């Protein structure tokens, strides 16, 4: 896929008045949700739940630009035999796929994590592209805490992994969503969140540049700039909005 084609998909994903539906819950996550309502987390029940979403024709056609799928879901067929991915395409939305393998503890960085999933990613992307995926998602997790968290090691390692993932995606004709999420946990104030978010974004875009990723063919999924949940000083809605927009322009 050329840069122009990647850009066309990326622009369609962020069309005004539309959003991306995250239907990429892992089997463990969706089991917790089903347990809460007394439903068995079987493959058929998971399929039926997602099919219900994708067949909401008015909502899908008017308000959804893309759908992030889980590995199981991208391979499933609806009850009538129609591939679930075709239901998404028929609604006018773009199918995508979550490709990271979750987080693991980052060595020598207590309390910090690194997102894994680069091993074998090229081959998985080839398969997902063949199944109809037009974009992918990878989430990095950055926590603000005491004793120097986040560390340079954590920020740099996660930014580098995001850049490698993004380059692999574009090499296979898939638009990468890059998500360097600075968590809202902790007792930090909004100014600390602003500083960390700015640092993380600048590090990420330096890594994307070094990896020769074409920015016009990417989508950024940023976090809001907001005080931590345990912060004694709560930020107003107006301050959150102003500082989130400001950090994106920094």
User: Per-10-residue mean pLDDT for the chain, 250 residues long?
Assistant: 93 97 93 96 96 96 98 96 97 98 97 97 98 98 92 98 98 98 95 98 98 98 96 95 97
CB 68 within 8 A of CB 96: yes
Question: What's the CA dihedral at 165, 170, 171, 172 to 10 degrees?
Answer: 100
Give catalytic residue positions.
Answer: 221
- Given a contact cutoff of 8 angstroms between Cβ atoms, the answer to whether 78 and 47 are in contact is yes
* Residue ranges with strand state E in 60-133: 64-69, 94-98, 103-105, 113-115
In the structure encoding, which two tokens stand for residue 227, read together? 């005080």
> What does pTM read for this prediction?
0.95
pLDDT score recorded for residue 170? 98
Tokens of 179: 């998500």
Would you state the pLDDT for residue 68? Answer: 98
The pLDDT, as a whole number, for residue 161 is 98
Q: How far apart are CA 160 and CA 24, in angstroms?
A: 23
Residue 1: the pLDDT is: 73
Of 220, 240, 214, 226, residue with least CA distance to 180: 220
The β-bridge relationship of strands 19-23 and 94-98 is unpaired
Please report where in the chains the tokens 């910090």 appear, as a residue: 112
């Amino acid at each position: 896929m050329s840069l122009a084609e990647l850009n066309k998909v990326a622009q369609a994903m962020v069309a005004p008045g539309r959003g991306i539906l995250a239907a990429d819950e892992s089997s463990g996550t969706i089991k917790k949700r089903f347990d809460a309502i007394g439903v068995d987390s079987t493959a058929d029940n998971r399929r039926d739940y997602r099919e219900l979403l994708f067949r909401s024709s008015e909502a899908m056609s008017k308000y959804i630009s893309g759908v992030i799928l889980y590995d199981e879901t991208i391979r499933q067929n609806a009850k009538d035999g129609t591939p679930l991915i075709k239901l998404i395409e028929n609604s006018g939305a773009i199918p995508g796929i979550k490709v990271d393998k979750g987080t693991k503890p980052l060595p020598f960085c207590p309390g910090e994590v690194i997102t894994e999933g680069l091993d074998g990613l090229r081959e998985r992307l080839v398969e997902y592209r063949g199944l109809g995926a037009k974009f992918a998602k990878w989430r990095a997790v950055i926590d603000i805490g005491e004793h120097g968290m986040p560390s340079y090691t954590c920020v740099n390692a996660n930014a580098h992994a995001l850049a490698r993932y993004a380059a692999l995606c574009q090499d296979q004709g898939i638009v990468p969503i890059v998500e360097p999420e600075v968590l809202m946990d902790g007792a930090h104030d909004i100014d600390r969140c602003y500083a960390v978010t700015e640092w993380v974004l600048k590090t990420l875009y330096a890594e994307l540049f070094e990896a020769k990723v074409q920015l016009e063919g990417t989508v950024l999924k940023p976090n809001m700039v907001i005080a931590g949940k345990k912060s004694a000083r709560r930020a107003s809605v107006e301050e959150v909005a102003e500082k989130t927009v400001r950090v994106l322009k920094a």
